[in-house]
Amino acid sequence: MTKQERKTWFITGVSSGLGRELARAVRRSGDRVIGTARKAAHVAELAAEGIDALILDVDDEASVQRGVSEATARLGRIDVLVNNAGFGMAGAVEALSIEEVRAVMETNFFGALRVTQALIPSMRTTGGTIVMVTSMAGVVGFAGTGAYCASKFALEGLSEALADELAPFGVHVLIVEPGSFRTAFAGDSNRRASRSIDAYAGTQAGEAHRMMAAYAGTEPGDPAKGADAIIATVRSPSPPRRLVLGADAVELISAKLDQVRQDIGAWREVSRATAFS
């Protein structure tokens, strides 16, 4: 790979999981990368591996502006932005406080929006790729994870609109929809609603946090392979709009799309019969 062919990557949320594996894989590939983490200890851990990182909190506008400025100064330009920072929230919709839902939206949706808006002006002039890491839960709603699903559904809609807005400037938006990967997501990175409601006991909505905790460490997805898939897709001469990662995600998203088609077909005449006579 020549110096001209090397890409520069800016990846949020590289303290663990898919983000960390992606930073490692990008570095191994010969591209340059700067990651972000919220804690100095994580930045030090990454530095020990030879991975450049800086402290950045996607929930804080000033922190985002400082981080983007510093990354741009170090790299010269950013070819690939990966919005990966985020966390999960388990709990029935009825049990969630508005503050808990806002916290999820603040990081998973508004955090990605802040970083993207900070980098769009420069990427409009140079071209590049914006990778939005959503989830299969950004396409399929799961009982007990309504707040998380809401944040990822919102990010999907934003990303679709952004893709059309930035295409004339040579910026491609790639939506990555991972299934269950063996990261800290189902364990330490998954929060739960502060209250529970007895009526949901024994249902998926009421037991989601316990079910996810039991599943942690046995997820089928290998984050290192997921990272390689993202890099290969970004480098493709004809990348897709969406990259679904994991057999579970492929099956569940496909089933959702089939159900949507069935509903449209079954109720087509009712849907169409709403125009003025």
Annotated catalytic residues are 148
Instruction: List the beta strands (DSSP E) in the chain.
Output: 8-11, 32-37, 52-55, 80-83, 88-90, 128-133, 171-178, 190-192, 242-245
Q: State the amino acid at position 119 in one-letter form.
A: L
With residue 32 as reference, give the H or E element that holds it.
Answer: strand 32-37
The end-to-end CA distance of the chain, in Å, is 64
Residues 6+ apart with CB under 8 A from 234: 7, 80, 129, 131, 174
Judge whether 119 and 85 are in contact, CB under 8 Å.
no
Q: Write the Ramachandran bin of 203: left for phi over 0, alpha for psi from -120 to 50, otherwise beta.
A: beta
145: tokens are 């994870």
